[in-house]
Structure 1
Amino acid sequence: MRVPLSWLREYVDLPEAENGRGVAARLIDAGFEVEAVEQLGADIKGPLVVGQVLAIEELEGFKKPIRYCQVNVGSANGSGEPQNIVCGARNFAVGDKVVVILPGGVLPGNFEIAARKTYGKVSEGMICSARELGLGDDHDGIIVLPPEYEPGTDAVELLQMVDEILDIDVTPDRGYCMSLRGLAREVATAYGLPLRDPALLDVTPPNGAGPQVRISDAVQADGCDLFVARAVVGLDPAARTPIWMQRRIQKAGMRPVSLIVDVANYVMLEIGQPLHTYDRGRVSGAIGVRRAEPDEVVTTLDGAKRKLVGGRDLVITDDSGPIGLAGVMGGGSTEIGPESTDVVIEAAHFDPPSISRTARRLKLPSEAAKRFERGTDPAAAAAAAQRAVDLLQLLGGETALVEAGVTEVGGVRPLAPITMPADHPDRVAGVTYGRETVVRRLQEVGCAVSGSDVLTVVPPSWRPDLVEVNDLAEEVLRLEGYDRIPSTMPHLPPGTGLTAGQRARRRTGRALAGAGFVEAPSFPFLDASVFDALGLDADDERRRTVDLVNPLNADEASMRTTLLPGLLAALRRNVGRGTHDVALFENGLVFVRREGQAPAAPRLAVDRRPTDEELASLEAALPAQPRHVAVVLAGQFGPAGWWGEGREASWADAVQAARVVADAVGVELVPRQASYAPWHPGRCAELRLGGPDGRVVGHAGELHPRVVKALELPERTSAMELDFDALVRAAEASDAVQAGRISSYPVATQDVALVVDAAVPAGEVEAALRDGAGELLESLRLFDVFEGEQIGAGKKSLAYALRFRAPDRTLTADDASAARDAAVAAASTRVGAVLRG
């Protein structure tokens, strides 16, 4: 909300020396966010005056029309002689009054004006447009003033060019501050000064003789509980908005249009009640308010045809059908035009959620909708209509007449009284305010207060946000000053340290970072269509998403069931910006809809602890939220340099990342070949827990080429995802970790090459060797895989390095050979391995 300080002073007698920054400081202390204090006219220097065009000479021979004008500026130039000015605009004629800046003046942007020769003539100043003066973006032509102003009049004062504008970010719960009336009330309270309320008018009471209005009973109950209609006839189409009103509208951030529209906007800015004006000659029959019919369409003022949602959108109608979107935007069929003389004025009170839903769905954040969705003051509707008709009669010409008929359908519903202990704000803040202070502050807000130790408080009509005792306490606290509330540290019991899961997460993060991965947390939202790109089956459990009712982004309305979409999007974004070697990881929650999950969470009370039944119902409405860890990588995983060539990332690096995670948690993973989307069926490993559990806890490998193409990823992108919670549970269930024994005796190394069927997993061969080698085996490493004609079709050779060591002696060659032979024998028995000759 942009608030001109000069306009604010009309309602509050601020000290003359007070400036915008001082007012901003008081509002900040009262809990408002003032984004800026803009200084208008600080960079303008005169003489800037009213001039009258005496003669115009058209200059020919140039690429664009040029005019040489003689302008009477009175005595502003010191001589009284006309000024000769070259101008390219063509929207003025001889006799018009214009704004002229004379040599020596300075326009916004430090643009100095001097007499200079141009187009073969000497130009002694400039005839100004609104943009050149910083009054708006209109640059189509210069400003033409009303004829009553004398040449030489100071245009700086006339156009109110020197002012201060407070730019205030009004929070959704303070809709009353979307007006000068509401903010003036806050300023008056902050300074302890009286308020001249612009809504305190002599309002003509309703008499049923005004424009006809019909509201259905259902809509009057929950959509539009009040509708005031007034009419003004005989308006002069040539009547113009006075400069003072135009300038106030401009300073508030809106654009002057015409007298009728400007009056409606001015009253909305002043009182906070949005108004709508109808050309009475275009309204057919009675004005109505109802819910839209299915597939109904209305053409709004911007010329667009809007398809409405039946039973939800509120529409204004006449006998011809919809003529406007209630509280959002009027319709083109009853639009005020240049020839409009008879006007119907609407001042209504609409249901905030209804207006908000319609405005957001149609992406029409109009000034009216911004106020209605925050909640307007229903008691001010009649006053706003009265103010509008009074202004139109005053400014609309000698024939303008306000009709005596006043229509008011519905009424103002009083807000529910709130009972509050007088010392409740004291207990909330930890400060002793006392009953007198509490009552005074609530009365300054506009509440009616009665009672002694227990207060009965009736909020004012413009404060629908005051619904319970803590709302009232907040008003007392902010008006007394948040800076008066002492800062105290809470007394916390001693902690028990990190949980096993927290320690495991920290170790995992450090291990993956040490392995070359960069942590890249992503938002937990996704577009469910990404599952098609990932190639998931229709019955894949990862498609069982939890969908959001009010998502931050309409394109990402589901909670993630896997970490891969967010990580792959981050990888694609980095590659698109020139980083081709990418290795990312994330450790975060996924959200899986459970069987029998409640459709919605209950709304719990805030004045007591929830019962066990309420907590159980809340838990039942939540999805399962297991923690996963995932990595994605593409490009070179080992960079090239003087030490040699780089190494391209592959499926093996993804599998190794899973081993890094398992080692950090303290469990063993056994990889097996598998087929699981979105991985390549020939380059995918399922990851099982070692030991008797042996269940699948994740997958790793190279992504399917179709997935890579659909998501626009680099070729041979690899990924891994694990159920981290399952790893932690397995680690907690296992025996305590035993420290490895350290032997001072030398190691004995034996190499073996075994020929097995190509389909036999290397992991099974390794397990057999470990079991057969016995306790002397210290480590086992696969260092070569070979397939070729030498070993036969359908076969492969696996070469292992076995390290043997004894804790109490030096092993002999026979000891090492015997352990190796036992290992080979076990592999031969279990997987059919043959020692390669």
Structure 2
Amino acid sequence: MRVPIDWLREYVAVPHDATGEQIAADLVRIGLEEEGLHTGGVTGPLVVGRVLTMEPEPQKNGKTINWCTVDVGDANGTGEPQGIVCGAHNFAPGDLVAVILPGGVLTTPQGRLEVGARKTYGHVSAGMICSERELGIGDDHDGIMVLGRRFAGQDDLLAGLTPGTDAIPLLGLDRETVEVNVTPDRGYCFSVRGVAREYSHATGAEFTDPALALDAAAPPANEAGFAVRLTDDDPVRGRPGCDRYVARVVRGIDVAAPTPAWLAARLTEAGMRPISLPVDVTNYVMLGLGQPLHAFDLTTLEEPVVVRRARAGERLTTLDGVDRALDTGDLLITDHGGERPVAIAGVMGGAQTEVGKGTHDVLVEAAHFEPVSIARSARRHRLPSEASRRFERGVDPALAAAAAQLAVDLLVEHGGGVADAGVTDVGTPDAPEAVTMPVDFPSRIVGVEYSAEEVVSILRAIGCTVTRDADELTVVPPTWRPDLTTAADLVEEVARIHGYDRIPSALPTPPGGAGLTHAQRVRRIVADVLAGQGLFEVWGAPFVSAERYAALGLDVDAELARSVRLANPLSDEQPLMRTRLLATMVEALRRNVARGTRDVGLFEIGLVVDRRGEQRPAPTEDVGVRPSEETLAEIRAAVPAQPRHLAFVLAGERDRGGWWGPGRAADVTDVVDLVRVLGVALAVPVTTVADGVAPYHPGRCARVELADGTLVGHVGELHPKVVAALGLPARSVAGELDLDVLVTAAEPTVQASTLVTFPMAQSDVALVVDDAVPVADVEAALREGAGETLETVSLFDVYRGDQLEPGRKSLAFRLTFRAADRTLTTEEVSGLRDSAVASAARRTAAVQR
């Protein structure tokens, strides 16, 4: 919002010597963000000149230029007339014009234009006679600006103009404009009136509300007014789309009458271009008071006007010339008893009722519309407007009559119109709801001691009606503050008006707590362990396609049954929520390899979706309304289970090669080892059992289980078809575990084992078993038979060859024994080893070599 300082001074007592920078600083202190300071786009000598002569000179290209001599007084340093070439023809000798001399600079939409003396059309043109557009004070570019016409009726001003007079202050090009950023909750600041009120709060300067006098001058509604009916069969959040509609009629307007120079200048300084008197008046009222208006050509309207929702199939050509299909949620202004749409309420009017060159009678609309309805229509039609920006943030419903009165006054004064005695004012807006608050609530929330008198005084200063009953306040917000609905909102106002800079910068003292939860500690341990193993953590967007599941060799129908399809996906190619981390991790692996990283180790901890049953859409509620407990229960029921998983992938060399020798490629034993290391770190016994599930190689896949058989996940080498389909390195290995299962299995506290100082004893044993017998089964049998003194079992050799029968393999294990209370004898160790071998023979038919 751009606020011209001269305009601001009409509403609040800004000191005469206050600069734009000071005013901006005062507004920042009260919570408005400064966007910038602006002045006219002209630097250098811009002076008043009197045209002495103008000689038309036809050119070969068919264009006629004027060779002019212009008296600029002593501004050119010589006192001699200035020779200037001009292509415009709307002036004559004797006219006063604005002349920019060599050395001056114009800032135009096309960029900076440095003016100098240059030869053109056979003459040396020393300067330029300017148009309104070139000076940035209007949109007229058909001819140059004649000061006598611009300041028509201001005879005293014109009489004091002499050639050489500085034209920059004359045209207001030295006036400053403060630009502020208005946050969504402060819609009342989309007006000079609102910013003036905020400046008053910041500095204590006296604020004069222009709406009070206008409202008092506005005549009351009567039966002679233009007929208007409010209907709404689709209210938003239980509120009608329009709860107040004021209509005033002005007849006999000269739409060709020029917009007063002061009004055009204010519009320009506020960032809007002057167009025509009726349009400029409505824009001026909107910028000044904050109430958007719309002017209809009265002769194109037929009573009564009806405000209603659009019907299916209706269309409207708006002022921008676009034929629009209307939605049943659009609020419309219609005439002929509701039969013909003439405007999208609060957004844009229709072309059929536009005020044009032939208009003489206008109907001025000032209404109050429901913010959500206007916001939805503006976005639905991609039609943001200055009016919709204000309506969707909340316009003061008490302002309509005052705004219409100001528009009528300006049209009568400057357009020569006559106001009808009939006045329409229908609808009754809801009164602001009272908010109760303990008087010490601001002090408790902000941490600054506010006295009861300060709290009451601040709330009354911003326009609230405050009633105190002992230690409780009942506060009724003003009509222009629809954002004040809770006690917390009032606390923010107290802190803001009292001064954010008076709130001490002190870090809060955190309460004593339990620290990280058990699940958080487990996740951190897991991440630290895997990072220590040389893997890098990644994050992948949780969106996949059915084609990805097919590429992984999974049962696509089964995965779709567990997944959730997004109603509005970021990409139509990835409309599903992932059911496995590997579905997205393989893309991270592929991308890293494609960019030149040959040896890769990645892991991710994230959520997956595990839907059971039919996908049910969650109910929705409007923003700003707390759902009922029943609705909340339905929302929670519609959210599928989202377990947290851990996945990792390895490709390339696990042990790097170098001058010390060749490297070793990652294989299935590496992912099995990662599982073992995680189990040790979490003190959770895990076992691996041969298995064969997608997307792994059927002969190089392991099922990870807890001691009680609970499934944790799978690890293994990715199937060659999967590797080929996804473009991954050959023999890549991966794994995915249900981290929630590990969290549940991990004890919150782990009892450390006592360090045993007695020596250990080792014994090796080689067992021959069938090739189909898993090593894990043999190891489990050895542990069962060896007893409690067995410390570790490690496989150190596997042999298949001529010395064994076909289909048989030899497994060599090293058994380590240690007793906590004595040194084991050789006889004890041999007995324990024999017991272990016997157990393996019973369970796996192993034969000792």
* Corresponding residue to 2:375 among 356, 374, 381: 356
- In structure 1, the partner of 2:158 is none
Aligned to 1:260: 278
Does structure 1 residue 461 correspond to structure 2 residue 479? yes
CA 407–510 in structure 1, closer or farther in 2 if over 3 Å, else same? same
Give the 5 Å matches for 1:129-528.
Answer: 144=145, 148-149=149-150, 154-200=166-212, 201=214, 202-216=217-231, 218=233, 221-310=239-328, 312-319=329-336, 320-396=339-415, 398=416, 400-451=417-468, 453=470, 454-486=472-504, 494-521=512-539
Identify if the C-alpha distance between structure 1 residues 599 and 516 changes in structure 2 by more than 3 Å, giving closer, same or farther. same
The CA distance in 2 between the partners of 1:304 and 1:173, in whole Å, is 31
Equivalent AA in structure 2 for residue 475 of structure 1 = E
* CA–CA separation in structure 2 for the residues paired with 1:423 and 1:77: 69
Amino acid at match of 1:211: F
**Aligned-residue offset at 1:15:** 1.7
Q: Distance in 2 between matches of 1:814 and 1:94?
A: 123
- Where does residue 794 of structure 2 map in the other structure? 780
Give the match's secondary structure for 1:171.
coil
Q: Which amino acid aligns with 1:185?
A: R
Match of 1:123 in 2: 125
Cα distance in 2 for partners of 1:572, 1:403 equals 76
| 1:476 aligned counterpart, secondary structure | helix
Classify 1:145/1:832 alpha carbon distance in 2 versus 1 (closer, same or farther; 3 Å): farther
Label 1:714 to 1:294 Cα distance change in 2 as closer, same or farther (>3 A): farther
1:377 shift after superposition: 0.4
Report what 1:37 is aligned to.
36
The Cα shift of 1:444 comes to 1.2
Moved more, 413-422 or 351-360: 413-422
Structure 1's 491 and 777: CA in aligned 2 closer, same or farther, altered over 3 A?
A: closer
The farther-off stretch of 344-353 and 260-269 is 260-269
1:43-54 equivalences under 5 Å are 44-47=43-46, 54=54
Provide the rounded CA distance (Å) in 1 between the counterparts of 2:707 and 2:283: 75
CA deviation string 1:318-362 (max 9, x = no partner): 345333322223334434445544433222111122223333344
Deviation, 1:378, is 0.5
CA distance in 1, matches of 2:143, 2:670: 70
**Is 1:103 equivalent to 2:102 in the alignment?**
yes
Distance 1:577 1:133 in 2: 55
1:15 aligned residue? 15
Is the contact made by 1:651 and 1:683 (CA closer than 8 Å) also made in structure 2? no
Following TM superposition, by how much is the alpha carbon of 1:225 offset from its aligned partner in structure 2, in angstroms? 0.7
The SS at the match of 1:77 is coil
SS in 2 for 1:374: coil
Change (3 A) 1:501 1:477: same
Letter in 1 for 2:43: I
Shift of 1:459: 1.8
Instruction: Please state how far the C-alpha of 1:428 moved relative to its aligned partner.
Output: 4.2
**In structure 1, how many angstroms separate the alpha carbons of the residues matched to 2:341 and 2:730?**
56
Q: How far 1:203 sits from its partner (Å)? A: 1.5
Structure-1 residue corresponding to 2:743 = 728
Task: Tell me the SS of whatever aligns to 1:72.
Answer: strand
Question: Please, which moves more after superposition, 431-440 or 641-650?
Answer: 641-650
Identical aligned residues as a percent: 44
Provide Cα deviations, 1:142-163, integer angstroms capped at 9, x if missing partner: 8756752577564423443334
Check whether the contact 2:71–2:82 (CA below 8 A) recurs between aligned residues: yes
2:157 is matched with which residue?
none
In structure 2, relative to structure 1, the CA distance for the partners of 1:482 and 1:831 (3 Å cut) is: same
Change (3 A) 1:674 1:288: farther
| Alignment partners' CA distance in 2, 1:565 and 1:367 | 47
RMSD of aligned Cα (Å): 5.3
Given that 1:274 and 1:347 are in contact with CA atoms closer than 8 Å, whether structure 2 keeps it comes out as yes
Distance 1:43 1:208, change over 3 A: same
Q: Secondary structure at the match of 1:404?
A: strand
Measured against aligned partners, the alpha-carbon deviations of 1:611-641 in whole angstroms (never above 9, x if no partner) come to: 9999999987876554333346677777787
Greater CA drift, 459-468 or 42-51:
42-51
Deviates more, 1:360-369 or 1:622-631: 622-631
Contact 2:91 2:146 in 1 (8 A): no
Distance 1:229 1:555 in 2: 52
- Number of equivalences: 809
Q: In the TM superposition, what is the alpha-carbon distance from 1:828 to its structure 2 partner?
A: 7.9
Distance in 2 between residues matched to 1:762 and 1:91, nearest whole Å: 99
Letter in 2 for 1:358: S
For residues 148-189 of structure 1, what are the alpha-carbon distances to aligned partners after superposition, in whole Å with 9 as ceiling and x for unaligned?
257756442344333444333323222212221111111112
Deviates most, 290-299 or 563-572: 563-572
Q: 1:269 to 1:631 in 2, by over 3 A?
A: farther
Could you tell which deviates more after superposition, 615-624 or 156-165? 615-624
The code of the aligned residue for 2:482 comes to P
The CA distance in 1 between the partners of 2:84 and 2:719, in whole Å, is 73
CA contact (8 A) 1:670 1:763 kept: yes
| Distance change in 2, residues 1:246/1:595 (3 Å) | farther
Shift of 1:376: 0.9
Q: 1:164 to 1:747 in 2, by over 3 A?
A: farther
Based on CA coordinates, which of the two structures has the bigger radius of gyration?
2
Separation in structure 1 between the aligned mates of residue 667 and residue 313 of structure 2, nearest angstrom: 54
Task: Measure how far apart 1:510 and its partner are.
Answer: 1.6
1:369 maps to a residue whose letter is: S
Give the 3-state SS of the residue equivalent to 1:123 in structure 2: strand
Moved more, 589-598 or 502-511: 589-598
Q: CA deviation at 1:446?
A: 1.0
Q: Counterpart amino acid of 1:476?
A: V
Change (3 A) 1:248 1:575: farther
Which residue identity does 1:148 align to in structure 2? R
1:28 is aligned to 28
Q: State the Cα deviation string for residues 549-589 of structure 1 (Å, max 9, x = none).
A: 9x999999997765567756767787888878765443344
1:102 Cα deviation from its structure 2 partner? 0.9
Q: What is the alpha-carbon distance in structure 2 between the residues aligned to residue 94 and residue 532 of structure 1?
A: 74
1-structure distance, mates of 2:796, 2:667: 17
| Aligned amino acid, residue 2 of structure 1 | R
- Deviation of residue 103 (structure 1)? 1.2
Question: 682, 693, 718: which is aligned to 2:709?
Answer: 693
- TM-score, structure 1 as length reference: 0.79
What pairs up with 1:764-779 in 2 under 5 angstroms?
767=780, 778-779=792-793
Q: SS where residue 436 of structure 1 aligns?
A: helix
1:811 is displaced (CA, Å) by 11
How many angstroms apart in 1 are the aligned matches of 2:725 and 2:272? 49
Structure 1 769/301 Cα, relative in aligned 2: closer, same or farther at 3 Å? farther
1:279–1:336 Cα contact (<8 Å) kept: yes
Counterpart CA distance in 1 for 2:173 and 2:699 is 72
Which 5+ residue runs of structure 2 have no aligned equivalent? 151-160
Contact 1:34–1:168 (8 Å) recurs in 2: yes
8 Å contact kept, 1:420–1:456: yes
Distance 1:338 1:480, change over 3 A: same
User: Which whole-Å deviations, capped at 9, do the CAs of 1:366-420 have from their partners, x for residues lacking one?
Assistant: 3222222221101001211222232233333x4x333333222212332223344
* 317-326 or 554-563, which deviates more: 554-563
Q: Is contact 2:767-2:810 (8 Å) kept?
A: yes
CA distance in 2, matches of 1:673, 1:492: 50
Instruction: Sort the Cα spacing of 1:256 and 1:134 in 2 relative to 1 into closer, same or farther, 3 A.
Output: closer
Q: Which moves more between the two structures, 260-269 or 656-665?
A: 656-665
